[in-house]
Structure 1
């Protein structure tokens, strides 16, 4: 994955120096690869043991083959993962990580190590803990068992208990530079058109996971549709009605999210291409788009309404629309 360099360096330096903090808070936007990093770090620790053994070159060093085989099979006794579980017999996940899950984890921490020198707990995401679960975790972080490491994935660290944050070493996963993202996407998907890669990188906002999801979402096609509305003004509403149909209903939620991802970059490009005195209307429509997105997220708008309203915002920016407004 991309964007783990500084986190990996910090983790390896702590391990090599024998200064491994007992809890690491991996903070940043969803899709940055925080969970991937957590599993890489956990695998490294339970397959390498105490600091400095072997001087491994990276977190992907295989380490002890027997321990690595157990990790790959999901059977390593010293690797514990907490995440939301499926509800009943459905595929839908529970809203939270429950207090019962936390209690089961704590009971395992009281057992002696049966294999290797470290026990690792991954909580993905710690934001999902019930209130009671968060309080129970806090007590454990205040008096952590020896040779136990906590890797806490957080998409919204500001919402966590301040006392949990204060007991963690915080590693922030920052959005990836656009040029770096473009080069990475070229390497990952060399068959993609250059313009499509650039459109994906712009819509992803520096988040690698989002970029990978967008690859299969016809980003370039959708961007052309939105651009056509902004350039023509869509006088007969035909393009806006087609957009509304395309993003309507729960089955098309991903396409609505794609539109929401693309529009900010499109508005920024329009603003860059205009004289300074003509940027004001673009900023007005930016605010209008943001309000529409908030209403859609809160459930006030269905997909069709949100799609049509976003189309209205873009249509207002057409040259003919601006002239008419004057």
Structure 2
């Protein structure tokens, strides 16, 4: 866990003082570990009880071992999760958390606690609630049952109903400082070159989950592919087409952002290696890359198109002897 210190302190302060707010909005970029934080809070509550005695504890303390084993097995009866479900006979998830799911949860709230002193509802993410489901949840937040805690994960809190936000105490998960991220990744993956760690940190925007995903993208290999396009001109478009496939689609957005982030460094490297007369064309291609990215953000952000166009920019920087005849 990284970047959760302030959120942990705020939660524990409320629990220790016996004034724990009934609904907490965990707000911040996707990949900050908000869902993992919610799971830790849920485990803490069902293993530590009522609170309010000023006891000095940490969120990771084990607490009641029997309740802890139920949590680890995913069988604790008082931790309820609301999330998008798999479609019938499909491996795809539904677009929304439905009104039926919320109604089922509400019916559970009318039952007495079967174990311990807390019931915890985790909604991950509340952004996924369909309209009727959001309205149903709002009514419950307005008149919450005793000893029930709601943990509402949100990647886009500004899009939520203002009435839902107003019923919650907000914990904001901010992007982590670059130096802290660099030290964390270096400790986590000591075999990575420091230059690769810094590239990943820069591309992650301070979001730990995104940084971990980028490690699997293999920064060094990606740099070699981009430099190969710049060195050969990719006369048969094979390298550019492969690049476009690698960064296209929603699932590859992190890899596309990595490419966008490391291109400036590669262009700077080429500028150092080339003659003075070749610096102006390199700067022109950098401007072209920037325009491509800006246009994509304004439009549909087609990763395949952006990847191929970045490849075109690099291909145009190949030495004349390597470029195909026009």
TM-score normalised by length of structure 1: 0.84
Cα distance, 1:264 vs structure 2? 3.3
Contact 1:264 1:286 survives alignment (8 Å): no
Aligned residue in 1 for 2:296: 292
Structure 2 SS opposite 1:94: coil
String of CA shifts for 1:131-152, please: whole Å, max 9, x gaps: 0000000111111111111000
Aligned residue in 1 for 2:324: none
Cα distance, 1:68 vs structure 2? 0.8
Superposed, 1:38-57 pairs within 5 Å as: 38-52=38-52, 55-57=55-57
Aligned residue in 2 for 1:324: none
String of CA shifts for 1:158-177, please: whole Å, max 9, x gaps: 11111111111111111111
Structure 1 SS opposite 2:196: helix
- Structure 2 CA distance, aligned partners of 1:90 and 1:5? 39
- Structure 2 CA distance, aligned partners of 1:225 and 1:317? 14
Aligned residue in 2 for 1:130: 130
Structure 1 SS opposite 2:8: helix
- Structure 2 CA distance, aligned partners of 1:285 and 1:302? 13
Aligned residue in 2 for 1:84: 84
Whether 1:260 and 2:264 are equivalent positions in the alignment is: no
Shift of the 76–253 alpha-carbon distance from structure 1 to 2, 3 Å rule, reads: closer
- Structure 2 CA distance, aligned partners of 1:171 and 1:12? 12
Shift of the 191–81 alpha-carbon distance from structure 1 to 2, 3 Å rule, reads: same
Aligned residue in 2 for 1:71: 71
- Structure 2 CA distance, aligned partners of 1:210 and 1:26? 18
Which of 218-227 and 29-38 deviates more? 218-227
Shift of the 13–238 alpha-carbon distance from structure 1 to 2, 3 Å rule, reads: farther
- Structure 2 CA distance, aligned partners of 1:125 and 1:49? 26
Whether 1:17 and 2:21 are equivalent positions in the alignment is: no
- Structure 1 CA distance, aligned partners of 2:316 and 2:300? 20
Superposed, 1:1-326 pairs within 5 Å as: 1-52=1-52, 55-226=55-226, 232=230, 236-238=233-235, 241-248=238-245, 254-255=251-252, 257-264=254-261, 266-267=263-264, 282=286, 285-292=289-296, 295=299, 297=301, 301=302, 303=304, 305-313=305-313
Unaligned runs of 5+ in 1: 321-326
Contact 2:22 2:148 survives alignment (8 Å): yes
Contact 1:181 1:208 survives alignment (8 Å): yes
Shift of the 69–122 alpha-carbon distance from structure 1 to 2, 3 Å rule, reads: same
Cα distance, 1:214 vs structure 2? 1.2
TM-score normalised by length of structure 2: 0.84
Which of 29-38 and 247-256 deviates more? 247-256
**Residues matched between the structures, number:** 311
Cα distance, 1:260 vs structure 2? 2.6
